[in-house]
Homo-oligomer: A and B are copies of this chain.
Amino acid sequence: MSSPPISRYPLPELDALPDDIKEKILAVQEKAGFIPNVFLVLAHRPEEFRAFFAYHDALMNKESNLSQADREMIIVATSSDNACHYCVVAHGAVLRIRAKNALIADQIATNYRKADISPREMAMLDFALKVSNDAQSTNDEDFEKLQAHGFTEEDIWDIAAITALFGLSNRMANFTSMRPNDEFYSMGRGV
């Protein structure tokens, strides 16, 4: 049986892609063992691909007071609220691995308010959801609540910017009907 398509748009041949994009994709494949579909789907538009991953790397690969698990929690919580298959399934897998916790991704995807997380993490996710759904109402009180949990102004920028970038990603994935790789569903479940 043939699989459903991974995008409603055409997928580029790897060899037809510009060198920098092809190299980036091969490097990911080398590390992960497979090519996450988002790379192929977004490579349909090379300029946008470069900008997206530059933004992604600027937020996800840098040093920050937010741990890698913190950042993945933000992605899973907001992507679930935006009902995005790709991001919930793929970043759920990464979250399980980063947090070394087989249960946390499904808990956060279903209802972070009842998940096994700390009050600091709850405050972080409350703010991320507010930026996602009602950024226009953010105010000093929101910043104060986060600061009471030890977040700095720069940490708060990180929370908001990750939320905003994956809000973009969720919309791109949903309108293209981007499909997560089957591999992600079971990754990190044995940790």
A residues in contact (CB < 8 Å) with B: 4, 8-9, 44-45, 47-48, 50-52, 54-55, 58-59, 62, 80, 82-85, 88-89, 92, 102-103, 106-107, 109-111, 113-116, 131-132, 135-139, 143, 153, 156-157, 160-161, 163-165, 167-172, 174-177, 182, 185-186, 189-190
Q: Chain B residues with Cβ under 8 A from A89's Cβ?
A: 106, 110
Q: Chain B residues with Cβ under 8 A from A136's Cβ?
A: 82-84, 111, 113-114, 174
A175–B168 alpha-carbon span in the complex (Å): 16
- Distance in angstroms from A82 CB to nearest chain B CB is 7
Asked if B189 and A172 make an inter-chain contact with CB atoms under 8 angstroms apart, the answer reads no
Q: Chain B residues with Cβ under 8 A from A171's Cβ?
A: 131-132, 135, 160, 163-164, 167
Asked if A137 and B109 make an inter-chain contact with CB atoms under 8 angstroms apart, the answer reads no
Q: Chain B residues with Cβ under 8 A from A48's Cβ?
A: 55, 58-59, 161
- Count chain B CB atoms within 10 A of each CB in A48, A80, A116, A176 and give the residue with the most: A48
Q: Chain B residues with Cβ under 8 A from A190's Cβ?
A: 186
- Distance in angstroms from A184 CB to nearest chain B CB is 9
Residue of B nearest to A53 (CB): B51
Asked if A47 and B51 make an inter-chain contact with CB atoms under 8 angstroms apart, the answer reads no
- Distance in angstroms from A56 CB to nearest chain B CB is 8
A110–B59 alpha-carbon span in the complex (Å): 25
Q: Chain B residues with Cβ under 8 A from A182's Cβ?
A: 102-103
- Distance in angstroms from A175 CB to nearest chain B CB is 4
For this complex, 11 residue pairs linking A to B, each with C-beta atoms less than 8 Å apart, are A45-B157, A48-B59, A84-B110, A84-B135, A84-B136, A85-B111, A88-B110, A131-B174, A160-B172, A164-B171, A165-B168
